[in-house]
Each structure stands twice: as C-alpha cells, then as structure tokens.
Chains A and B, each alone.
Chain A
Amino acid sequence: MSIQTAIEIGQWFFLLYFILLNTGYLTLNLLSVINISRMMRENVSEELSQLYSGFETPITLLVPAYNEQSTLAASIRSLLQLSYPQYEILVINDGSTDNTLAVLQREFSLVPFPETYRARLKTQRVRGIYHSTVFPNLRVIDKENGGKSDSLNAGINVSRYPLYCAVDADSILQRDSLQRVAKPFLEDSTVIACGGSVRIANGCQISGGFLEKIGLPKSFLARVQIVEYLRAFLFGRMGWSPINAMLIISGAFGIFKKDAVTDVGGYRTDTLGEDMELVVRLHRHYRLAGKPYKIQFVPDPICWTEAPENLKTLRLQRTRWQRGLAESLSMNIGLLFHPKGGTAGWLAFPFTVIFEWLGPLIEVVGYIFMCLLFYFGMISSTAFLVFLLVAIGFGLLLSMSALLLEEMSFHIYPRASHLAWLMLAALVENFGYRQLTSVWRLMGLFSWLFFSKGRWGTMKRKKVTF
C-alpha cells in the first residue's frame, strides 16, 4: 500500500468517524426533542398535581463525607429543609482526619445509638452510629476510611427506607428535588433507579443552602461548562432514557431502589466511576436475568453543583471522569452485544465504547493527523475545510440544539443577556475547549491503562456559601 493510499484511508476514517459521532448525537438530540415535547405537552396536568399524593415512598438520603468540617453542617441544615413527606438523612463519616464528626456532634446534638443493622454489603468497620436528639430523621455513621463507594455501601446497610438517594455533600438541591425524582417510582413499580438534571451553580445566588437567584458565572470556563452540561443532560441522558438505555446517573444526585442495588452487590470500591459502574451493572444484571426494569431520567433541573473555574482542576475532573467511564465499561463488558442486552447492550453500550471510551483517542489522533497533512500540503484545503466543518460545525450545531432544548423546556436563565452569553459560549467552546477536553480525556484513558486508582478525589472549589 502506498503512502498516498494510507493517507486517503486515514482521511476517510477520521472524516467518517466524526460524521458517525455527530450523526449519533443528532439522533439522540432528535429523540430528546420528541421526548421533551411530549413532556411539555403532558405538563399541564402535572403542574396541577404538585401536592403530595400521600403515597410517596420514604427515602434515605445518603451523604458520604470525608474531611468536610467546614461545610458539612450547613449542607445538612439545608437537606433538613427539603419538602418530602418522609425521609431520613444518613451522613457517613468516612474516617475523616479533621473534626467532621465533632462538628456534627456539636451542631446536631448527636448521641451514640446501639443500632443493629443488616450488613448486606461488606464495608470497612463501622465504629458507631449516632442519632440526633434534635432532628429525629438525622443519623450519622462513623466508620473507618474506605472511600466514597464503601461509605455508600455502609449507608445502604444502615438505611431504613426502600429508596435511597446518593447525594454529594456539596450538592445544592431544590426544595422539591426528592418529590420530582421519586415520582417515576410511584408511577411504575419496575423503576429501579432515577436520575435528574444537574446544573452549574457558579454565578447563582445561594441562601440557606438553596438557590435564590439564577445567574451566570463570571468565569468563561464555567460558562462553557453550562453549555456542556446542557448537552450532556438534555440530550445525552434524555435521549437514552426513553429507550431504557441510559448508562449513567450522576453521583451528585440519584435515587435507587435499595433492594435492586443490594441484589447486585452494592457499589464497587475498586473504581473511580462508582456511579456509572453501578448503573451499567444494574442494566447488565436485569437484562441478562430477563427481569423487567426501568432506569429513568427526570430532566427537571433538581441539583446544582459547582464547576471548576481553573484549568488544572478541570483537567483533574475530566481525567477522573474518563477513567471512571473506562472502568465502568470494562467491568461490565459482558453486556456488550449480549443476546439479551437489549437497547443497553446493543445501542448505548457500543455507542459509549466507540464515541466516549475510545473517542478521545480517535479525536485527538484525527485532529493531529489532519492538521499535519494540511500543514505539509498532503491534502487540499477543501478536504481540510470539510473535515473542520464536520468536526467543529456539527459540534456547534449540537451545542446550539442543546440551548434550543433548554429554551423549549425549562428556560431557567431569565435574562436575554444570559442567553446571548450562552450562545457565545456555545460557539467558542468548539474552538479549543472541546479539543482540550479530548486531550484530558485521553490522559484519563492512559491513566486507566497504566496507573492504579486513587481515592476520594479532591477538587479545588470556590467555597459555596450556604
């Protein structure tokens, strides 16, 4: 094979890859548009039945904490104000080395409680369980350090209710978050897990642990991430959910049926992507066993989280996410094209393998390859332009369609100037930002291949004031 032929094959490979990638996302986008339109159509009756039905399933909120002495008490105070008929808060102190436990004891009048519980999941040793004498629905587990997954498993063991909600200590929830995400469980007994839309809290006004006023962050990096989150949630998740093939529920906020999770062995402690791994494993277990189940997504913005505003933290976050994704997929590779795999095994899994897992490698190599060919005059400027149009133009189209979905549904950014800034972010992110995140994701892929896993990822945050 001559060099020229190899170059031509390479060109066509990368071009076709980007066409397939963007066509896939556009299809998801189309599914989301249909789904959101249906949802908005049916919204009238839902708007009128917001009051409690009296049949809500009780929920345990699991809040794993590691060295969070400065912010945890405020987070818990806001969680205590959620509106839901029956819920308990279970904080899991994962062997913090600071004064996390002492602060909780002081702030919530905790006393040791002689609690026995059914240890269905194996965890690090639990040193003690505390009850609040002020808030009857607040308990604290003090355990030896074992990581976030281990903490969640300990929480599941001690929890009292049939549904549990895993929530990050620094997540900002809406008062009615639980009610919204628990709704699918009420309407369909085969629902085993449900996630909601996570939005970016930077730039928003927060008071008493709740969102008071929605705004845009000053940092352009955070603004770009708003568009990115819209894309990920409004058509990433929303597209897969109606065909029961959503492979991830954000660790920041998701509700699970406790029995379903304990049946599959709880969270794995040997992965950084414990949230995604659990969801993929649930799909694998239920599909292969032929049991009816649903994993659903509620597009309502119900959880707000802080996005990194500097490149270093963002890089760490993205490499960690990519590594988590690689671990989740490789640990459940048996679902891929399994005869009983259904939409999860035959559509979502291969799509995620090609475009999310291996995607960064192909994208980065593709960009470098095409740029080099153009630089050395080995391809025409027309061919290079076509490549850029497919790789960047389609990206722009997708970002804009995410904004369109947002405008069709929740339009939470109130001012026209917000919209203008987001449009600008949607435009600019395609020129450099997306390519940069591809490089970071590639680093995550390498770290999965060559290095051992870390624990309790630390993120440098601007402090969220509760």
Chain B
Amino acid sequence: MGLAFLLVLQVIVLRFLLIRREQRKAKFLALWRPLMAQSATGESAIYPRVAEADIKEFLILWNHLQELIRGIAKDGLNKLAHSVGMNLTAKKLLRKGVFAEKVLAMMTLGNLRDKSAWASLTDLMHDESPLISLAASSSLMKIDAEAGIHLFMPLVVLREDWPPVKVAMILKEAGAGVISEPLANAIRSAKPKQVKRLINYLELASTAESSRVMREILSVSRDQQAIATCLRMMKDPRDLDMVRSQTVNPIWIVRVQAAAALGRIGVEEDKARLIRLLVDPQWWVRYRAATALSQLPFVSIEELRHIQTKQTDRFAIEMLQQVLAERVA
C-alpha cells in the first residue's frame, strides 16, 4: 500500500512538472517561433539569449524548421543559430550531452554544415547504437556528401542493424551524382548476402550506373531474389534480352518482375511473350503480364480486346477483362 501511495505521489509530481514544462514551452514558442520565421526570410533582428533550460526546445524547433524549408532560407536560420551561439552549444552537447541531446547536437551540426565537427562525427558513425551512428552519418553527409560517402558506404555494407529506409533517406538526400559510383563499387566487392541488401539502393543511383551493376549481377548471380530485385528496377531498353530470358525462369517471383519490366521497356515482338505469360499458373504473373500488355504504348484498348477474344484459357480471358476495366476506369 505504501508503494502504491508513493506511485500516486510520483504521478502527481510528474503532472506538476509537465504543467510547468508546458507553460515554459508555450512561452518559449511565443517568443522564438516568430523570430525563427523572420530569420528564415532573411530579416535581421537582435536575438535574446537562449536560457539554459530552453536549449533543447530551441534545437528541436530550429531543426524542425530546417527539415521544412529549402534553399536560401536555411542560411538565415544558420545565421540565427550562430548569433545565439548554438554552434558552440551543439558541440558541447556532442561531447557531454545525454543520448537525446547528442542526437539533437548532431542534427544541428549537420544542418549548420559545421566542418569543425567532422572528426567527432566520424567517431560517432561507429557507435553501437544505430540511432547515434545513423544520426552521425546523416550529419556528416549533410556537411560534405562527396567526402562523407567514402566513410558512409563501407558502413552501409557492414551495418545490418541500420534500418534500410533510414539509409535510403540519407542516400537520396545526397543525390545520385554522389552515391552512384561508390554504391556500385561497394556492391561489386560485397559478399552475396550483402549484395542482396545493397541492390535495393540502386534505385537511388543514376540509371547508367545502376544498369551496369544490374547487368553484372544478372550475368553471374544465381540468387533468384537478387535477380528479381534487379528486374524490378530495370528500365534501360538495352537490357531487353536479359529481361526476355527471365520470362521463362522456373521461379515465379522472377517471372513476375520480368513481365513488369517488359511493360516498361518491351517492344512490338514482346507482345507474344507477354501473351504467353497470361496463362502462367501463378496469378501474379498473369496479372503483371496483362498489366504490362496494357502499358505498352503501342497496344491500344481495341488491340487488348482483340487479344482477349483470341484467348482460349479462362484465366487469361478474365485477367484481360480486369485489366481492360482498370484501364477504362
């Protein structure tokens, strides 16, 4: 009972602290939100000192705005951060802060493009925590993507604990121009298990580079999942022969992607291949083949109807009927 009473007290104290925190936050936002908006538009102003207790709120709001705005507006926000000394505060938090403060500090230094934090961030990229190491990587890439990618990519290969979506977001922000070659090289020298994970990022690379790597994989790999992934991304007409050869692959997940790829890059003579796939035993292959047929720019609705009338297989007829209805809708 005593323990229960202690818990009641703790709940009350927490609520009291919450009310005070929210009051303070409301006051902080009323003051700083307009000032930050003003700075983003390039207007100069004299900024008040940021109280010690408001530093976390300041950094959250400032980083939040950084995520929302683009281009020159970021410079105004950066000037504001420098003028209130947040670059120095962030570096201090990076050294001495607790977990959340460290993450905030890394985000801040990344958005400030602060090169003096390079060494600390490089160390933190190897941190055990995926959150810390990814935040450090993201900041490093923001500061200098061209230099950062050579530190980041080897870790992308090794760190299986990094959520792929977070890695993809960093690569996407860096841009195809920066990531294509290092990514291609990383895939070429990676182990088969790593290749399977890495090829998904090829979607973010330049078409020329990703096509080259995918051709290499398709010519040597026996991993059906990897082949299917490559086919899913193929959009270069020069790869038609490779795609065509996979329409008869015994594994259906590969045939599905081959059919879909033909819908993107197929030519007149591929119609017959897709029509053959309309009677595939797998529903998804039939569906993708019918969709691919309807996507070919030279196949009109009338021609699709004509293809349908020529079919004798019930599944093929029904699938074309559905795809025709989808196209009309």
Contact = CB atoms under 8 A, between A and B. Distances in A.
Contacts of B3: 397
Given A47-B60, A116-B322, A407-B11, A186 B163 contact: yes
Contacts of B53: none
Interface string B139-179: 00000000000000000000000011110110010000000
A253 to B, nearest CB: 22
A367 B131 CA distance: 49
Interface in A239-283: none
Contact of B99 (A41, A136, A186, A187): A41
A393 B63 CA distance: 47
B166 A187 contact: yes
A200 interface: no
B32 interface: no
B100 A53 contact: no
B60 A404 contact: no
Contacts of A41: 98-100
Given A55-B168, A393-B1, A114 B322 contact: yes
Interface stretch (B183-191, B266-274, B292-300, B313-321): B313-321
A401 interface: yes
A187 B318 contact: no
Interface residues on B, range: 35 or more
A115 B329 CA distance: 13
Contact of B318 (A44, A114, A136): A114
B5 to A, nearest CB: 9
B315 A116 contact: yes
A458 interface: no
B169 A53 contact: yes
A116 B1 contact: no
Contacts of A393: 1, 4
A131 B329 contact: yes
B15 interface: yes
Given A113-B325, A118-B284, A396-B1, A423 B169 contact: no
Contact of A133 (B4, B60, B67, B329): B329
Contacts of B107: 45, 48
A114 B321 contact: yes
B221 interface: no
B67 A48 contact: yes
B31 interface: no
B112 interface: no
Interface in B106-123: 107
Interface string A369-411: 0000000000000000000010001001100110110011001
A115 B320 CA distance: 10
B90 interface: no
B11 A389 contact: no
Contacts of B131: 42, 45
Nearest to A118: B283
Given A55-B168, A397-B7, A44 B104 contact: yes
Contact of A53 (B63, B103, B165, B318): B165
**Residue from the set A55, A116, A397, A408 with the largest chain B CB neighbour count within 10 Å:** A116
Nearest to A111: B329
A54 interface: yes
Contact of A44 (B12, B19, B60, B67): B60
Contacts of B99: 41-42
Given A43-B100, A118-B284, A404-B11, A389 B4 contact: no
A102 interface: no
A423 B8 contact: yes
Nearest to A397: B4
A116 B286 CA distance: 10
B319 A116 contact: yes
Given A42-B131, A45-B107, A186-B163, A115 B7 contact: no
B69 interface: no
A112 B60 CA distance: 50
B193 to A, nearest CB: 13
Nearest to B66: A48
Contacts of A407: 11, 14-15, 18
Contacts of A1: none
A187 B164 CA distance: 6
Contacts of A51: 67
A419 B60 CA distance: 28
B10 interface: yes
B172 to A, nearest CB: 7
Interface in B82-107: 98-100, 103-104, 107
A77 B161 CA distance: 39
Contacts of A423: 8, 11
Contacts of A113: 322, 325, 329
A416 B17 CA distance: 12
B40 interface: no
A189 interface: yes
Contacts of B104: 44-45
Contacts of A44: 60, 100, 103-104
A188 B63 CA distance: 26
Contacts of B10: 404
Contacts of A451: none
B166 to A, nearest CB: 7
Contacts of B135: 45
B64 interface: yes
A117 B315 CA distance: 10
B11 A400 contact: yes
B15 to A, nearest CB: 6
14 contacts: A48-B64, A49-B67, A51-B67, A53-B169, A54-B169, A55-B168, A113-B325, A113-B329, A116-B315, A118-B284, A187-B163, A188-B163, A407-B15, A407-B18
Given A45-B107, A113-B329, 19 more contacts: A41-B99, A42-B99, A42-B103, A45-B103, A47-B60, A53-B165, A53-B166, A187-B165, A189-B164, A393-B4, A397-B3, A397-B7, A400-B7, A400-B8, A401-B7, A407-B18, A408-B14, A416-B19, A419-B15
Interface of B: 1, 3-4, 7-8, 10-12, 14-15, 18-19, 60, 63-64, 67, 98-100, 103-104, 107, 131, 135, 163-166, 168-169, 172, 283-284, 287, 315, 318-319, 321-322, 325, 329
